[in-house]
Structure 1
Amino acid sequence: MKIAPGLLIAAPRSGSGKTTVVLGLQRALARRGLRVRGMKCGPDYIDPAFHAAATGAPSFNLDSFAMSPPLLEALASEAAREAELVIAEGSMGLFDGIRQEAGRTGASADIAALFGWPVILVLDVSGHAQSAAAVALGCARFDPRIEVAGVVLNKVASERHLRLVEDGMARIGLPVLGAMMRNAELTLPERHLGLVQARETDELDMRLDRLADAAEAALDIDRLVALSRPTRIEGTGRAKPLPPPGQRIALASDQAFSFVYPHVLSGWRGAGAEIVTFSPLADEPPPSGCDVCWLPGGYPELHAGRIAGAARFLGGLRRFAESRPIHGECGGYMVLGQSLEDGDGRKHPMAGLLPVETSYAKRKMHLGYRVARLVEDGVMGEAGQHLVGHEFHYASVVQSDLSREAAFAAITDAEGTDLGTSGHRRGRVTGSFFHAIAAG
């Protein structure tokens, strides 16, 4: 079995330009006819969709805290079997994660160490010159498990600036594999949870080709490819993903409901489930003949008025709940509630299937890994089942009633701190802000 080599593109901190470099490189290599697969370190819904658009192939997440080593190997093995090169993208800074034992911190460095992928460091050199080499040297020496094979310089101001930065890199012996000048035209649009989704980005193919053109002009692509190393798979490369919640799953899918991990959908299909998509924004009800409905996260707060006016969708959802289970994650949970207040303070009625009211006007960031223990049997598993996932949202609960209804799960953070309960359960309907990544 041939296993494709890989590289991890990472950075010392967020905002350094990793995604710009990754997408430009992925699209440039795909245009050359190379079969490329993207991967994303950590919990992120948005970047994998851009990888898929750039390469024409699915991109999975790899999370060293939420996923077991067998699951990580299974996902990497699947990607590497179907590609000639894997280009993984780090999240935040290369070593940023949680306090756990080595290999389970959720940091991108864990993934590079596990699979033997060399790290290409993207450095935002705006505001310094030779000092950039000190940052790169620190990254190269911080973790002996990994190899920093070279750097890509980003936001270079001038030829003189470039020569100064290159002088520092020469002193520490790290090769410069490319330099991208400051260029606002290469920036992708952003919003409160990261980049605007790939499916919403205007002229996405044109933007990706522009990034590829910039990569071809600025990067030593042949040398970058030559630095890749075989993907190290030491186990069987087999693991059980999250079990499907039903045999025929009605999955909400549009600009308001889009946060579903590709590895989860792949696992459901691999277990024999059929996924039937529908669009609440198009006022479509859950399709008939399905035995479970799944409302993923996304951006319902940006479309609250339209959802409130989608009578066929909301009516169909209520009828579905009379006989079959429904589960909502994050944004889906908000829509299953009584009401949703948008960013302008307007309150919109939602499905009314769970006793919770949420607000995007009263914003507070909720971010971090969560370990959930299910309170009752349901579509996510039996009572007592542990799931590992995360929360990332700005919405707040403004009214919640658990006096007559059971909570969905008891949760802790990554360090085991008790965070109480999460979500609600009413009849066949469940939901919470918790996004499930894998079974615990």
Structure 2
Amino acid sequence: MAAGLVISASASGVGKTTLTLALARAWRNRGLNVQCFKSGPDYIDPAFHAAATGRASVNVDSWAMDRGTVAHLVSRGVDADVVLAEGSMGLFDGVAARGVSGTGATADIAEMLGWPVVLVIDPSGQAQTAAAIAAGLRDYRKGVHLAGVVLNRVASPRHEALVRRALNDAGIAVFGALPRHAEISLPKRHLGLVQAEEQAEIDKLIDEAARFVAEHVDLEAVLRSAANWTPEPAANGLNVTPPGQRIALARDAAFSFVYPHMLEGWRAAGAEIVPFSPLADEAPDASADVCWLPGGYPELHAGRIAANVRFRSGLQAFAETRPVHGECGGYMVLGAVLTDADGISHEMAGLLGLETSFAKRRMHLGYRLAELAAPMPGHRIGARLRGHEFHYSTILTQPDTPLAVVHDATGAVIAETGSRRGQVTGTFFHLIAEDR
């Protein structure tokens, strides 16, 4: 029987990921088997979880997934001693309209699994008000249980004492208080944290975070607050249809944004994944029956991609006889031109007419529900696909046949419809699940 906890916060950027990694590594160093999950549509944090625990982490998402899919995914924690679900944004932050089993809020997952919440509070610029915020979060929604809080970025012993006293008066347990510590700051870029595989010192950073947190947080008290948990029987599996039997998957620093559960679902359905690196000027495997280009950071490598003739010509030859699909960054690379942040235009694969630019950045962020107007690999006309879009590129032209009618979480139709030309398709959203 595992012990389950949710790590959440009052807002983004207060230290959820750092605390999750530190707890996971600290308990692992003490001989415990730790399993992590990520609540919400984040394809970067699971790689950090895996680095901390030695076990693959996946996303669970109440807007895009039904309860059976969530149950199936978390059941991998059955052999663990501790199971941690890291939240996204603030505890109750989701969308206004309910999705498959919730609004996408971390609180949905906490209530669904029956796991208490450890809240990270950053009391910078406040004292007793931090306790008022914690008490409000504790009482906001019946069915969500607050185990206690960890204070982060505490300014001084006096500051800590003021906040602790207010929390104690409110009946809220304080598991520890972390002073500011620059050595465990995780580097960021425009789509979130710099990816784990790009950080050579990531293991040392996580070890330092674990040491620091173990020094300032009562690990035993946090563990005692966890709920004893046994996975409920999952009525269904992942419900993931692979796009082909043998999938050529672009995989390197420019093409790394793909949800782990999607790859697992493809393999579980019997598909074989053959990775290749566009940055290394590799073409998709000629024996594959479909090519998939995930998102990532092609805008940081646009010149190199444009210069890699073997990749581009190999992809073009592949597309003459077999389906090719791109998500977000992969979609942009399938297009005609990508203009980088310096205003330099780079020729891409030219399999679609899409032209995009980072010269005038504008954030596009949110859940997406797409009804396919044409088939794409693994999905028929009329399929309802749930995904998430997060990028800063601007569409200059999107001249090809729209792939789908795409709505945001409020039901409003959006302009990022995706494209189709022959057997080539692309979307700005990253696929999470198909409605069944």
Output the TM-score relative to the length of structure 1.
0.96
TM-superposed deviation, 1:357: 0.6
Report the CA distance shift for 1:35/1:234 in structure 2 as closer, same or farther (over 3 A).
closer
Tell me the residue number matched to 2:58. 60
Q: Is the 8 A contact 2:5 2:227 kept in 1?
A: yes
One-letter amino acid of the structure 2 residue matched with residue 64 of structure 1: S
Shift of 1:27: 1.1
Distance 2:234 2:124 in 1: 45
Separation (CA, whole Å) in 1 of partners of 2:70 and 2:5: 16
> What is the identity percentage for the equivalent residue pairs of Structure 1 and Structure 2?
55
Report if the CA contact (8 A) 1:409-1:421 is conserved: no
- List structure 1 runs of 4+ shifted beyond 6 angstroms: none
SS for the counterpart of 1:255 is: coil
Say which of 103, 118, 121 aligns to 2:119. 121
CA distance in 2, matches of 1:240, 1:217: 40
Deviation at 1:237, TM superposition (A): 4.9
Give ranges in structure 1 of 5+ residues lacking alignment.
Answer: none
Farther-moved stretch of structure 1 (31-40 vs 189-198): 31-40
Q: How far apart, CA to CA, are the structure 1 residues paired with 2:194 and 2:96?
A: 30
- Does residue 135 (structure 1) correspond to residue 130 (structure 2)? The answer is no
- The aligned residue for residue 234 of structure 2 is 236
Partner of 2:420: 425
SS of 1:419 mapped into structure 2: coil
Taking the aligned partners of 1:63 and 1:235, their CA distance within structure 2 comes to 18
Question: Take 2:136 and 2:156, find their aligned partners in 1: how far apart are those partners?
Answer: 25
Partner of 1:418: helix, strand, or coil?
Answer: coil
Name the counterpart of 1:281. 279
Match of 2:81 among 80, 84, 88: 84
Given residue 324 of structure 1, which amino acid in structure 2 is its aligned partner?
Answer: R
What does residue 265 of structure 2 align with? 267
Partner SS, residue 215 of structure 2: helix
Query: What corresponds to 1:408 in structure 2?
Result: 403
Instruction: Indicate how the Cα distance of structure 1 residues 407 and 101 shifts in structure 2: closer, same or farther if over 3 A, else same.
Output: closer
Q: 1-side partners of 2:82 and 2:12: how far apart?
A: 25
* Conserved? CA contact 2:124–2:154, under 8 Å: yes
Alignment deviations for residues 30-55 of structure 1 (CA, whole Å, 9 cap, x no partner): 22221111111110011111111111
| Residue aligning to 1:149 | 147
Measured in 1, the distance between the counterparts of 2:399 and 2:15 equals 44
Q: Report deviation, 1:387.
A: 0.5
Provide the C-alpha distance between the structure 2 equivalents of 1:240 and 1:204, rounded to a whole number of angstroms: 31
SS of 1:259 mapped into structure 2: coil
Aligned partners of 2:333 and 2:345: how far apart in 1?
12
SS state at 2:244 partner: coil
* Cα deviation, residue 233, structure 1: 4.2
CA distance in 2, matches of 1:110, 1:82: 24
SS at match of 1:387: strand
- Determine which of 188, 192, 200 is the counterpart of 1:194: 192
What is the aligned partner in structure 2 of residue 396 from structure 1? 394
Contact 2:325 2:376 in 1 (8 A): no
The question of whether the paired residues in 1 share the 8 Å contact of 2:78 and 2:231 is answered with no
Alpha-carbon distance in 2 for matches of 1:420, 1:125: 40
Unaligned stretches of 5+ in structure 2?
A: none
Change (3 A) 1:237 1:123: farther
1: CA distance, partners of 2:194 / 2:235? 33
> TM-score normalized by structure 2?
0.97
Letter in 2 for 1:263: H
Counterpart of 2:319 in structure 1 is: 321
Q: Deviations over 1:187-214 (max 9, x none)?
A: 1100001101111123111111111111
Give 1:309's aligned residue: 307
In the alignment, does 2:295 pair up with 1:297?
A: yes
Distance (whole Å) between structure 2 residues aligned to residue 237 and residue 77 of structure 1: 12
User: For 2:144 and 2:367, how far apart are their aligned partners in 1?
Assistant: 24
- SS of the aligned residue for 1:121 comes to strand
State the one-letter code of the partner of 2:10.
P
Q: Secondary structure at the match of 2:95?
A: coil
The offset of 1:101, in angstroms, is: 4.5
| TM-superposed deviation, 1:222 | 1.3
Contact 1:36 1:55 in 2 (8 A): yes
Shift of 1:420: 5.2
| Residues in 2 aligned to 1:18 and 1:373: alpha-carbon distance in whole angstroms | 34
Distance in 2, matches of 1:371 and 1:227, equals 37
Which among 427, 431, 434 is matched to residue 429 of structure 2? Answer: 434
Aligned length: 434
Residue type of the partner of 1:147?
H
Is 1:115–1:232's contact at 8 Å kept on the other side of the alignment? no
CA distance in 2, matches of 1:178, 1:30: 19
**Counterparts of 1:253 and 1:68, CA distance in 2:** 29
Map Cα deviations across residues 103-152 of structure 1 (whole Å, 9 max, x no partner). 51110000000000000000001111122111110000001111001000
